[in-house]
Structures are given as C-alpha cells and as structure tokens.
A and B are shown apart, each in its own frame.
Chain A
Amino acid sequence: MKLEWLLVLLVLSNLRLLASGRLGAKIRTVAAQGILLGLVPLLGSSGHPGVHAIAIATAGIVIKGFFFPWLLLRAVRETRINREVQPYVGYLASVMIGLAGLAGAFLLSRQLTPLPGAATSLLVTAALFSLFTGLFLIVSRKRAINQVLGFLVLENGVFLFGAGAMGEMSLLVELGILLDILVAVFVMGITLFHINREFDHIETNRLADLKD
C-alpha cells in the first residue's frame, strides 16, 4: 500500500514536470522524484530490505536527490535562464498529452503479465509513464536544461522498470547505470555552461544555425 502511494506521487510529479515552465521548480521536482525512487527498492522487496537494496537506495538518493539538483541549479544560475518561454507544445496541451500517455501506460501495463516478484502492477505503469514523460520533455522543449531533465526522468523510468521486472536486481548493473548517468549529467551540465558562453543562449532549435 505504501509502495502504491509512492508510485502515485511519482505519476503526479511527472504531470507536474509537464505542466511547469520554471526550471528551478522542475529541477526540484526531479530531485524529489529521485528521492521517491530511492525508496522504491526499500519498500518493494518483501520483508526486510537486504544490503543490496539499501546500497542502491542510498546511492540513488544521494546522487539523484542532492548532487544532480545542486549541479543543475548551478547551471541555471550561471546561464541566467530560469524559465522556458516558448515550448514547442504548450503546458496545458502537454498535460493533456501526458494524461493520454498515462492512459496508454495503464493499457500497456495491462497487456504485460506481471512477474511474481513485482509488488503491484502500478509499478510497470509508473515506469512506462516516466519513460513517456522523459521522451516527451526531450522533444517538446527548447531550453537545453529540459533535455537533461527529460533524460533523468527517462532513466528514472528505466530504473523503476528494472525494479518491477527483476524484483531482486543486480547490484552491479544498477550501480553501473547510476555511474553512467552521473558522468552523463556531469558532462551535460558543463556542456550547457559552454554552449551558453559561446552563443549567449541554450535554445536547442537555434543550435542548427551554426553552419561553419
């Protein structure tokens, strides 16, 4: 039951990401998502959480809940861009599309046979919806920070899917993925800063204007 609550909160935080234009608020939402996600392995395993689950939870919460937001908030401060002004898809339309995606996620997760290890079918739904939200954020927004956030949400979905499909997941694989995105976000944060310094903006649609 507690896990179900966590997953509903995850779904709502995804909707909030679609509805909000302020980058600071979005970064904090993704951070909250990281913390919620860190709790999933603890609640997901039946009985007492093992050492594996605790290690993954701690690493996940520290990296996704505190390190990434710090890095990205710094990037926002450096680039002095704090909101997405004109996204390709408006915020209200984004929420509508998000709801359609949520319905699709429910339909799709019904088709999949839940594995015996999975605690609730909502896990797969929330994972699919996170994947959808992440991809949608990447394609529908212009400011490059949104692409980083979309990537993080996408990875959250993959993580959740792993937690649902595997039950007891491999510590090494999960930590490896965590290290990968750590490096990726680190690089992206620095790249953002450099793009901004060179071109005075971080709008992805204008990056194609270079031609030299």
Chain B
Amino acid sequence: MNFNWLPPLLGLVLAPLLLGVINRTKAFFAGRKGQPLLQSYFDLARLLRKGAVYSSTTSWVFRLGPLIGLAAMFTALQLVPMGGQKSLLHFTGDVVLFCGLLALGRFATIIAALDTGSSFEGMGASREAFFGALAEPALYLSLAALVRHTGWSELSASLGVLSERNWVDVDPSLVLVTVALLAVFLVENCRIPVDDPNTHLELTMIHEVMVLDYSGPDFAFILYGAALKMWILGSLLIGIVLPALSSSAALNVGFSLLGVLGLAVLVGIIESVMARLRMIVVPQLLVVASALAATALLLGVR
C-alpha cells in the first residue's frame, strides 16, 4: 500500500504540536506544569475567529506577506519525504526548489515587515536578512553534501538510499551534515541560542519583531507557517538521522514521527540548559555550521 499522502497530512495536523512539546519540556525543566500540549491549536483557533486590523500606512504587500509565507511552507512540505516514503512532489533537482521556497517565505516576511514603515520592524527585517544570509550557505552546503554523498539530487531518493549502514560504520560527512543542519534548524526556527521566542524585548528579538503588526487570521497564518517550517526542517533532519529501517511503511513513518517529536524534546532541553547567545556571536555559530557543512561536502567531492 502506498502511504505517500501520510507524511504531508501528518505535517499539516501535527506541526503546531511541536511547539507544545517544546514548551512542556521547558516547563518540566523549570519545575512548572506548563501550558497544555494543544495550546498552539487553541491559539490558532482563537486568532482565526478574530478580525484583522490593518494600519493605514500598509499596502497590499503587507496583506500578501502571510499568504505567500504560508503557501511557500505548504509547498515545501510536499517536497520533504518521511520514513522512507517518497514525498508527494518529487523530481530530479527538487532540492533547489526546496531551498527556493524557504527563501521565498523569508523574503515575503521581510518585505511585509518593511512595508509597515515601523523602524522597529525594519530592524527585525534587517536582522532576519543578515542571519538568513548566513544560515542559507549552511543549509545549501549541507544539502549539497547530502546530494553528493548519496548521488541523488531528489530529496526523496537522496534520503531513501540512506540506511542503517551509514550509522553502523559511522560516516564522518553525515555526522557533520547533521550538526550543521541542527544549527540551521535552531536559527531558522528562531529557537534559543539565536533568538528567544518568548521575549518581547526589542533589543533581542528577530522573528517576533517582524510580525508585531499582524492580528487575527493573518497572525494565525504566520504562526502556522512557522510551525510548518519547524516540521519541514525537523523531518529533513530526522530523515538523515533515522533512515527507514523496517520493511513496513507504516512503522517507518511512525518511527520518523517519534523522531520529530524527540527533536522537539531536544530543542526544549537545549533551551533549558543554554542561554541565548549574544547577537554578535550568532554569525560565528552560523559560520562554524557552514564550515562543518563545507568540510562534509569536500569529503564527498574527494
């Protein structure tokens, strides 16, 4: 039986749950009870019921931003395989489209933030562009190393040929790619060593500051898009770490699902034990991630 449709569906339904898992992990470490696991769903439902308010200085760019962002993430979700299942949308070279969609989502958010005319949001947009420009080489080099390592420029095929052999006689280049992608995952999703998703202090925010002017359904789209982005990058990372082991498709998808939830727990642990890095140290983190990915690529090209 073909389970092609299952991974995107799981992503659409379970993406907001990741935030709940992260928050519960952090609450556990802090000795609190924490918000309900389904809090992000409640937030989304509440926001969707509300009306949107638009500032008179904004134009159609501002209104289009969340739509483009969500559409880009939705399309990217169709490209990412899970648990050895081929993704719904797959063709040779879809890695490039994947990168392009992530970049498009970022561009939509940045241009919409600039459209508000608020200097505050402009600052956030500038930071996002700066860190994005540093995170993208790390992501691209990681994917290039993966493509070079497996010999397939199609995400589904590339992750499909990985097997437990890659981890039994552990492969240096895959480990390097994993570490680099974990750094990219934390940066792209604005998690703690880079950005604190809880803070609303203007000096430290990156992502939150760009979406301050949104309300109602628009904000719901942004939150949902961000959750999807976390799911996409998370399942990509898990696709490398946890290759399909058993012959049963359902079991493989189940393992990957557990892997993604485990990744959310890991993020929660990282956020509990680490402090946010100073802003000027973040580029170093990203350059180190790029350096690891570049080393992996060079090992593959050798």
Identify whether the interface residues of A are mostly helix, strand, loop, or mixed: helix
Q: Which residue of B lies closest to A15 (CB)?
A: B291
Assess whether A106 is in contact with B291, with CB atoms less than 8 Å apart: no
Whether the pair B298, A106 counts as a contact (CB closer than 8 A) is yes
Give chain A residues whose Cβ lies under 8 Å from the Cβ of B299: 8, 122
A99 and B172 form a contact (CB under 8 A) = no
User: Chain B 132-149, CB within 8 Å of chain A: the 1/0 string?
Assistant: 000000000000000000
Q: Is B170 an interface residue (CB 8 A)?
A: yes
**Which of B172, B287, B301, B302 lies in contact with A95, CB distance below 8 A?**
B287
- For residue B163, CB closer than 8 A to chain A, the reply is no
* B302: A residues at CB distance < 8 A: 106, 110, 121-122, 125
What is the minimal beta-carbon distance from B182 to any residue of chain A, in angstroms?
16
Q: Provided the pairs A110-B302, A125-B302 are in contact, do residues A5 and B170 lie with their beta carbons within 8 angstroms?
A: yes
4 tightest A-B CB contacts, nearest first: A8-B172, A99-B294, A106-B298, A92-B287
Instruction: Please indicate the chain B residues that have their CB under 8 angstroms from the CB of A1 in the complex.
Output: 169
Residues of chain B whose beta carbon lies under 8 Å from any beta carbon of chain A: 169-170, 172, 176, 283-284, 287-288, 291-292, 294-295, 298-299, 301-302
Q: List 22 A-B contacts (CB under 8 A).
A: A1-B169, A5-B170, A5-B172, A8-B172, A8-B295, A8-B299, A12-B295, A15-B291, A15-B295, A19-B287, A19-B288, A19-B291, A91-B284, A92-B284, A92-B287, A96-B287, A99-B291, A102-B294, A103-B298, A106-B302, A110-B302, A122-B302
Q: How many A-B residue pairs have CB under 8 A?
A: 42
Question: A102 to chain B: which residues have CB within 8 Å?
Answer: 294-295, 298
Nearest-neighbour CB distance to chain B for A83, whole angstroms, equals 14
Residue interface mask A101-140, B partner, CB < 8 A = 1: 0110010001000000000011001000000000000000
A92 and B283 form a contact (CB under 8 A): yes
A4 within 8 A of B: yes
Chain B residues contacting A122 (CB-CB under 8 Å) are 299, 302
Task: Type the 1/0 row for A2-19, where 1 means its CB is closer than 8 Å to any CB of B.
Answer: 001100100110010001
Name which residue of chain B comes closest to A9, CB basis: B172
Closest partner residue, chain B, to A120 (CB atom): B302
Please give, as numbers and ranges, the residues of chain A lying within 8 Å of B291 by CB-CB distance.
15, 19, 95, 98-99
